[in-house]
Structure 1
Amino acid sequence: MNTRVVTAHIPNELAEQIDQLAERLDRPKGWIVKQALISWVELETKRHQLTLEGLADVDAGRLVDHASVDAWTKNLDQSV
């Protein structure tokens, strides 16, 4: 696998947390940062996909009007 070095300035507190995790997990700091970045990229990719799906629903007219949502939430209060 080809790799590349990426440099970032992070707050000291976060760096210390990474140091502690590396020690506790007996893993290199680079491994911890890599895992964190993988998770964040996957989350952002999913969030972007869901946003695109939501916008496609809007474009297709698959909407619920405010009055219907308001009535539904008021009904929730009554069912408790």
Structure 2
Amino acid sequence: MSLKATSVRLDDETLARVGQMAEAMNRPRAWLMAEAIKQYVAREEWFIHEVEKGVIAADEGRLIDHKDIKAKWEAKRAAQMD
């Protein structure tokens, strides 16, 4: 895998926070920013994929009534409180 350089503009406070985190992790700032971007992109790709699956399910009529979902989550919450 080849790496390409890019630039990111950050406000002073955010850049300082990135620097503090990188120092605490004993990593370069560039590594921390690259890792953050990788995680963000992966999370957003997952979200887009899940939304697309939901749209397809809705188009096919595979929907669950709100009261059924609510009952499921209330039962789950009650079980956690026990």
Shift of 1:64: 3.4
Partner in structure 1 of residue 4 of structure 2: 4
Quick one: percent identity of the two aligned structures?
23
Unpaired segments ≥5 residues, structure 2: none
Larger Rg: 1
- Runs (4+) off by over 4 Å: 70-74
Partner in structure 2 of residue 36 of structure 1: 36
Unpaired segments ≥5 residues, structure 1: none
1: distance between equivalents of 2:12 and 2:35?
19
Shift of 1:47: 0.2
Shift of 1:71: 7.9
Aligned residues: 73
Q: In structure 1, what residue type is equivalent to 2:6? A: V
- RMSD of aligned alpha carbons: 2.0
Shift of 1:49: 0.6
1: distance between equivalents of 2:26 and 2:69?
51
Q: In structure 1, what residue type is equivalent to 2:2? A: N
Matched, 1:17 2:11: no
Shift of 1:73: 4.5
1: distance between equivalents of 2:38 and 2:69?
39
2: distance between equivalents of 1:58 and 1:2?
41
Partner in structure 1 of residue 63 of structure 2: 63
